[in-house]
Amino acid sequence: EIVRELTASRLAMDHTLRLMRTFSKQLAAGQGSSMTDLLSALRNNPYALVHRRTLDFGTADRIAINAGSPLDNPERLVTAFMQSLGEVQQSGHCGLPIRDAVASAQTLIGARLSEERITTALNDNRLATANVFGTVCCFDATMFRAERLIADRCAELAHGPVPWEHLTDAETRIDAAAQFRFGSNFALSASQRSALQTVLGSKLTVLTGGPGVGKTRILAVLMAALKPIGVRVLLAAPTG
């Protein structure tokens, strides 16, 4: 029945078979509901399967429109916003400036959006907005609540003095630790040195950066700088 439903939506057979394999894998991994529920979603609200990361927006949109769903369906626009936010989350971002989210949603649905439609979509409880350093941004509401919870907890942990004595010779210790760890010819970049000074003077530090910017080296220098003053360092990671 699911294959018939998909082919009736004018999806190519190879596309249909790829989707069936995706459905089966998700069900086997406990990431989806039953095939009956899946069939119901395909018939009644294909956009719901985008939120479950079962379908991409383009496929769900084609199925919905071929089934007679109107182009101004509010669910269509909310899902376009959610798809745009999901894509940037894959790059490590939690949200988008409103103007960028609107531009991305307009690209997905192939039409310009009126202010009224934008406002209606952003008022959906699956989306959240917040002013971030003067820029109004759009978020997946679940991600937004999680980020706020983490931020509040970080603020609690950051309060108070550092767990080691105040280092009046931080610069000297950083240089000595860097040369001890990586050799006398090694030189820290200005941003790496600034990061180390921040870490040594803070109870909690969040260090971010893309691949190759030196996060691991900063940690190695930090450990080498703290060991001589008797600080015991514990490392933990959610991945290998």
Q: Locate tokens 């007679």: which residue? A: 68
For 139, the enclosing helix (H) or strand (E) is strand 135-140
- What does the pLDDT look like over 41-56, one tens digit per residue? 777 888 888 887 778 8
- What does the pLDDT look like over 185-224, one tens digit per residue? 888 888 888 999 888 888 899 888 888 888 889 999 999 9
Which residues, 6 or more positions from 223, have their beta carbon under 8 angstroms from its beta carbon?
Answer: 233
Contact of 76 with 121, CB cutoff 8 Å: no
3-state secondary structure of 214: coil
Contact of 192 with 212, CB cutoff 8 Å: no
Nearest to 108 by CA among 79, 133, 88, 132: 79
3-state secondary structure of 113: coil
pLDDT of residue 123: 93
How much is the mean pLDDT over the chain?
85
Question: In angstroms, rounded to a whole number, what is the distance separating the alpha carbons of residues 53 and 151?
Answer: 26
pLDDT at 68 over 80: yes
Confidence of residue 13 (pLDDT cuts 50, 70, 90): low
User: How many residues comprise the chain?
Assistant: 240
Rounded to an integer, the average pLDDT of 72-79 is 92
pLDDT of residue 30: 67
Higher pLDDT, 13 or 144: 144
- What does the pLDDT look like over 150-183, one tens digit per residue? 999 999 999 888 877 777 788 888 888 998 888 8
- Residue 142, φ and ψ in degrees, nearest 5: -65, -45
Confidence of residue 6 (pLDDT cuts 50, 70, 90): low
- What does the pLDDT look like over 121-134, one tens digit per residue? 999 999 999 999 99
**DSSP string covering 89-107:** HTTT-SEEEHHHHHHHHHH
